[in-house]
Amino acid sequence: MLDQAGPESISIAVSSDASAGRLVKVTLRMSAAHAVLLARRARAADVAQGRYVCSLLDGVAAPPLAADHGAVVATLRASTDRVAAMSADLNAFLRLLDRLPSGQLEGHRAGLTSLASDMRSHLAKASALIAELAPSRRCRK
C-alpha cells in the first residue's frame, strides 16, 4: 500500500493522524548507546522519549532545559503568587472605595480599576505559562 501511495498522501495521512491526537505504541530497535543517548536527551529536554522522537521527526529537536529551569519556574510561581495577593488587596480596596462618597476619590477609581484588570490579565497569562513550563514527564513509582 505504501509503495503505491505517493509521498504527498503519506504526509497527509501522518498529519491527519497527528492532529487527531490518537497515540499508538511504536517499538524502536537501536544500539544500547543510542538508547542511552535517547534517554539522556529526552530527560534533558524534560519530555517523554516518544515525544522527543516525534520532535525529531517534525524536524525540531526538543531543546534541553536550562540548568536553572526549576529555579526559574519557582521564581515565576512565587512572583505570580505575590501579584495574586496584591490583586486581591487591590480589589478589596476598590470595594471599599465604592462605599465612600463618589466625589472624593473618583479620579483614582478609573486608574485603579484599569490596574486591577491588567493584574488579572497578567495572572491568567502567567498561570498558563507556569502550567506549560511544568515537567511533562511523570515519575514512575
Q: Could you give the CA distance from residue 2 to residue 58 in angstroms, rounded to a whole number?
A: 20
Q: What integer pLDDT is reported at residue 1 of this predicted model?
A: 45
At 116, list the grid cell: 486591577
Q: Give the pLDDT band of residue 52 (cuts 50, 70, 90).
A: confident
Report the pLDDT averaged over residues 84-90: 89
Q: Assess contact for 50 and 26: CB atoms under 8 A.
A: yes
Sign of CA dihedral 33, 35, 38, 43: negative
Q: Could you give the CA distance from residue 110 to residue 65 in angstroms, rounded to a whole number?
A: 42
9-26, pLDDT tens digit by residue? 555 555 545 555 788 888
Q: What integer pLDDT is reported at residue 4 of this predicted model?
A: 57
Q: What is the pTM of this model?
A: 0.47
- Structural domain boundaries of the chain? 7-57, 69-133
The residue with greater pLDDT, 138 or 123, is: 123
Q: Which residue has the cell 530497535?
A: 29
